[in-house]
Structure formats: C-alpha cells, structure tokens
Structure 1
Amino acid sequence: MWFRNLQLYRLPAPWPVRIEDLEDQLASRRFQPCGSQDPESRGWVSPVADGALVHSVAGQWLICLCIEQRLLPSSVVKQEAEDRAAQLELTQGFKPGRKQMKDLKEEVVRELMPRAFTRRRKVYAWIDPKDGWFAVDVPSVTRAEDVLEALRQSLETFPLTLLRTETSPVSAMTDWLAGGEAPAGFTIDMDCELKSVTEEKAAVRYVRHSLDGDEIKAHLTEGKLPTKLALTFDDRVSFVLTEKGEIKRLQFLDVVKEAADGSGESAQELFDAHFALMTGELKRLIPAVVTALGGETQAG
C-alpha cells in the first residue's frame, strides 16, 4: 500500500469522529454492482480482505471508493440508431424526425446497456484523525471530487477544507530555483516544468537534467514560472510539487521500503506494515512541505 499521488485537504484536528461511527455511516452507501440499466454505480468497499470499510493501523485510517461504469460508447449508440432510422425510413416513407431519433437512441441504450461490459476502479483515501490530514491517491482534483462527493453523501457532517499556505507553490519554487537551493530538509532533483504567463503560453520541460545552471535562471528572468518541480525529502521520499500544491509521482525510496522487509508473514501483515510506514513518512513530509511554503494560512 503505497500512494502515488496526494490531493491534500484539511479536517479539524483532532477530527471528533469515532471509527465505529464512520464505519456505520459509510455502510449506508456500501458498493453495489450496476443494475441492468445503470450506467454507473459508486459505493464504499473494504480496503482489505477483512470486510471493514475503515481499515485502521496505528491510528491511521484507510477507506476505499469503488466506481463501476458500463462501457457503452456514444458512437455505438449513434450508429445503431442511424441503422434503425434507415430501416424506419423505408417503412414509413420519410426520414424520422428529431423526436423519433431521440426515442430511437433511448431504445438502443435500454437494449444495449444490460449487455455492456463493466469497468471498476478503486480510489483510496487516507485519514489522519489526530492531526487532521485527509489525502486522496489520485492525480487530479477532479478525480478526488469523486471521493469527496461520496463522503458528503455518506456522512452526517464532513467539515473538509482545502489546504492553503502563506506562500504559493509557484512563488516558492521560483525562489528555490533562482537561488539554486531547496528549503531545509529537501533537495532539488532533475525534473522541472516552466511556463510563460504570456498569451503564447510558452513552456519548457526538463527531464533528468541539472537545474542549477544559468539556463534555468534565464528562463525565470524571461518570465517563465515553475509549475512542476521534483524534490526529495530527507533522502527518503521523492515527489513532484505542482503549482496547485499537489504532490505527484510520490516514491518512497529503498531506505523506507527495506524497513518493511520481513515485517510480516501474511499478505495482510505486509499490507499493514507498508501502510504504517507510508503514513509515518507522510506525517513527516506534509508538515515539512507546508513549512517550506510559509506555513498554513490562518482562517479569518
């Protein structure tokens, strides 16, 4: 269990919700497969094989949203409806009107939907109830919203807020690159993306390239701003920080993963060991990133 991305949010710290209550409320929207006419179904599933909807290890919680979709491409519906419209034209002597075409498409969907293949995906979220962290393992805010919306529908209250920092990631990354030095505890790696704020939106991307030369500073002088920057924290976790404050391409380095070797004999024990190690590292990484960005913005 190693997250690859972090869409970060804030809960009250501590979050005054008992794990038993969270379990009961998620159970009200437990996952059910798509019915014959359902294009999509969403619900909560157990993150592990034990059946519990909230998996807890050392006070850290893991939940999982399952999304099932029926794969019925609009092009298939359109083609079948047009074929039926052509047959109908021969029968009635004139082309079907707009309402008839609409009815034909609805008929095709009703007939084909039960036979359409289904695809499932699972989205995991980590909750730190003590320190108030909430993170979804997805690469975009749009996909994180799937989990947030499901939680709003499942829970009696869900006081979630965006994580906001005093310094914007763009400003901070600009300072780090211009000065050739990362904040304390971090090192600048070799991947970066810079974009111009002009209408042309000129962009340059560096992959496995040194970022401490005059070339980078020249781009900054020309007005290009960093939108992505690869960093490593404490020689233990590498990641890419984005202009929106997202953490992507999260990698726990060998020194972390080796600590899990031999930590459990069963698959469940190994899963729990990995989850405990991951959350332990994240509880150090996230506050360090927030500090590097000037600290959290105080409400009010």
Structure 2
Amino acid sequence: MVYRIGEGFAPTLADVQTALMPVEFVPCGASQEKSVGWVPPRGEPHGPLVESVAGQWILKLMIESKAVPGNVVRRKADERIAEIEAATGRKPGKKEKRDLMDDVLLSLLPQAFERQSTVLVWMDLENRRLVLNAGSQGKADEVMSALMNVMGGLSVSLIQTVTSPQSAMTQWLLAPTADEWPADLTVERETVLKSTGEDAASVRFTRHHLANDDVRKHVLEGKLPTQLALSWDGRVAFVLTETLQLKKLQFLDGVMDESGTDKKEDRFDADVALSTGLLGPLMDSLIEALGGEMELGAAAADQALPNPLRTVLNSTVATAAAGMDDEDPPF
C-alpha cells in the first residue's frame, strides 16, 4: 500500500520515538482477545521503536490476537443453558444467552493460542511517501489508525494515478510488441482476467507467455486484468493489482547480495538502504507509466489516453476476432 503524506508533516525522529513509546506492544492478557502496539524494527529487545537508515524511517506494528472457535463457544454455552433449564425450569432469554456466550469466551481465552503478525511501515519524508507491507486494505487501515492515533498532524491519502492500473494493464496486454511497454517495466508470466459482466467469468494465466492472441482474445471479449506480474529494471519482480497494490515483491537473483555484509548488526541497515533505494525508483517509474500522479480532488482522466478496449473495439476488433476464429483452438 502506497500513500502520499500531506504537506506540513515534519516531525523529528525523537518526536516519533516519544510518540510511540506509550503504545509499545504488550502481549495479550489472559482474557484479552487482541493487542496492538509498536515493536523495535531491528528485533532487538528494548531497541528504538523507529529506525532511520539513509533518511528512510522504518517502524513495525505488532498485532497479536487470540481466537476461540465459535463452535466451541456455542457448545459450552449450550451446556450452561441446559444446566440452567434443568436447575430452574426456565429458558434463559436472549440477553442472558448473549451474556453466557461472553462469559464462556472469557473463560476459554486463557487457553487459546496467540497468533502474531507484523506490518512494516516505511516513511520517506523527503518524497512524502508512506509505504506499508500490509496484505489487505483492512490490515492497512488498522496500521494507519494506529499511526494517526500517535502522530499529530499526519495526514495521508492513497496515491491515485491519471491512468488507472487496470486501464494501463489492459494496454500492455494488448500491445503487439514489447516495445510498447513502459521503459524499465516488463510484463512477466502471470495475470488474472475478470469479466465485468453478470457472469463474472475469470481466467488465470500462470507461468504463461502473455504476449499472445489467446490472452488478447480474452481481453477483447471483455475480461479485464485485475492482477499482472511485472518486473522492473531486471531487479525487482512484483504483481500489480487494479487498486495499485504491489504484491509478491521479490528481489531478483543477486540483488540482495549487493548489500555486501553478513554481520547481523549491519544487515538491517544494508537491507533497508538497498530495499528502499530500489523500491523508491520503482514506484516513481510505475507512477510515470500510469500517466503520473493525479492531484487530490481531480477526476480520473483515463479518457485522456486512448482506452485500449474502446479503441480496438471501435476499429480492429472485428478483424482481430475473425483472424483468431480461423486459428486452431489452443487445445
């Protein structure tokens, strides 16, 4: 998830450390379902809660939860309800049943196993960019809420581009040659295409050469890309989604060796410097390939660029489809 930090937010590193300390992570108590707090990014006990490497700030949020299976809670609650009916001859009402469910849950929580997950936060104040490695919008919202609660004056907005990711991905898949792909970006071998019609048909290509008529035919029939595997500059592979999320980020062979250190105490700094040094230019290239960043409050301007589906459908779709129909089926 990539956000743009609003103007005027310029805290010091010490300000951020001070703000995070009151909400440092504390494990769940015996009857506590969830605990959220900040932990040292380096993983060292009692270390700083925010690290600065080459001007890039790194934070880490820990989320711990305990879950009791719902069927177990219901079964235990039913047993207590049966005991009450046997002892008093009356059936508990709805409110009493809800209270019994809550009591059962509290009694079982101390026996539940904890599940922990962490989310890294990268703040690039010079470029007013905030990046999360959250796997879902819900998790990202939780992290942003935790940040907003402690950082006064912080305002962010999801980055929006002039051309939507889906429109751009459609153009790239319909491109007759790789020469029409953006500079530094290469279409790889994975995509998900989904129909916008009522049938919601979808097709997934994995480990499949995408610059072919089979893929183009699906697109021309109305299935639009929701995910597309790309690589940048031969150094970073990722999957771009229709909502401008970058998933499955992977540094390609040999890239992380450029950090040049095996010492644990130095590895964190080297990895952060290398990762942010690559991902910053990657995001700049991607935003440029999507027509640049859209100003806040502006309407999407996909129509300013040729809509590949509209252009092709209005001019060459009949010819293209006829040519494809004459070909042998793929299997």
Q: TM-score range by the shorter chain?
A: over 0.9
**Following TM superposition, by how much is the alpha carbon of 1:225 offset from its aligned partner in structure 2, in angstroms?**
0.8
Cα deviations by residue, 1:87-126 (Å, 9 ceiling, x for unpaired) = 2221112333323322322221232223332222211111
Within the candidate set 59, 63, 70, 1:63 is matched to 59
1:9 maps to which residue? 3
1:252 maps to which residue? 251
1:169 maps to which residue? 165
1:36 maps to which residue? 30
1:225 maps to which residue? 224
Within the candidate set 280, 285, 288, 2:285 is matched to 288
Secondary structure of 2:255's counterpart equals helix
Q: Higher relative contact order at CA 8 Å, sep ≥6: structure 1 or structure 2?
A: 1
1:4 maps to which residue? none
Matches of 2:98 and 2:206, distance apart in 1: 50
1:196 maps to which residue? 195
Matches within 5 A, 1:201-216: 201-216=200-215
Runs of 4+ more than 6 Å apart: none
1:153 maps to which residue? 149
2:98 maps to which residue? 102
Amino acid aligned to 2:35: S
CA distance 1:91–1:14, change in 2 (3 Å)? closer
Secondary structure of 1:138's counterpart equals coil
Contact 1:190 1:206 in 2 (8 A): yes
Amino acid aligned to 2:102: E
TM-score by length of 1: 0.93
1:275 maps to which residue? 272
Matches of 1:27 and 1:175, distance apart in 2: 48
Amino acid aligned to 1:31: F
Contact 1:14 1:130 in 2 (8 A): no
CA distance 1:134–1:28, change in 2 (3 Å)? same
Contact 2:9 2:153 in 1 (8 A): no
- Determine what percentage of the aligned residue pairs are the same residue: 40
Cα deviations by residue, 1:33-75 (Å, 9 ceiling, x for unpaired) = 2223321111111111161000111111110111111222222
Matches of 1:273 and 1:243, distance apart in 2: 32
For the aligned residues, what is the CA RMSD? 1.6
1:86 maps to which residue? 82
The answer to which of 104-113 and 172-181 deviates more is 104-113
Give unpaired runs (5+ residues) of structure 1. Answer: 1-6
TM-score by length of 2: 0.84
Contact 1:14 1:129 in 2 (8 A): no
Cα deviations by residue, 1:270-292 (Å, 9 ceiling, x for unpaired) = 12211111000011100000000
Amino acid aligned to 1:247: L
Over alpha carbons, which structure has the higher Rg? 2
Contact 1:13 1:131 in 2 (8 A): no
Matches of 1:106 and 1:12, distance apart in 2: 42
In the alignment of these two chains, the number of paired residues is 292
Contact 1:64 1:124 in 2 (8 A): yes
Secondary structure of 2:279's counterpart equals helix
1:266 aligns with 2:263: yes
Matches of 2:5 and 2:63, distance apart in 1: 24
Amino acid aligned to 1:37: S
**Following TM superposition, by how much is the alpha carbon of 1:15 offset from its aligned partner in structure 2, in angstroms?**
4.5
Contact 1:13 1:130 in 2 (8 A): no
Within the candidate set 13, 16, 28, 1:22 is matched to 16
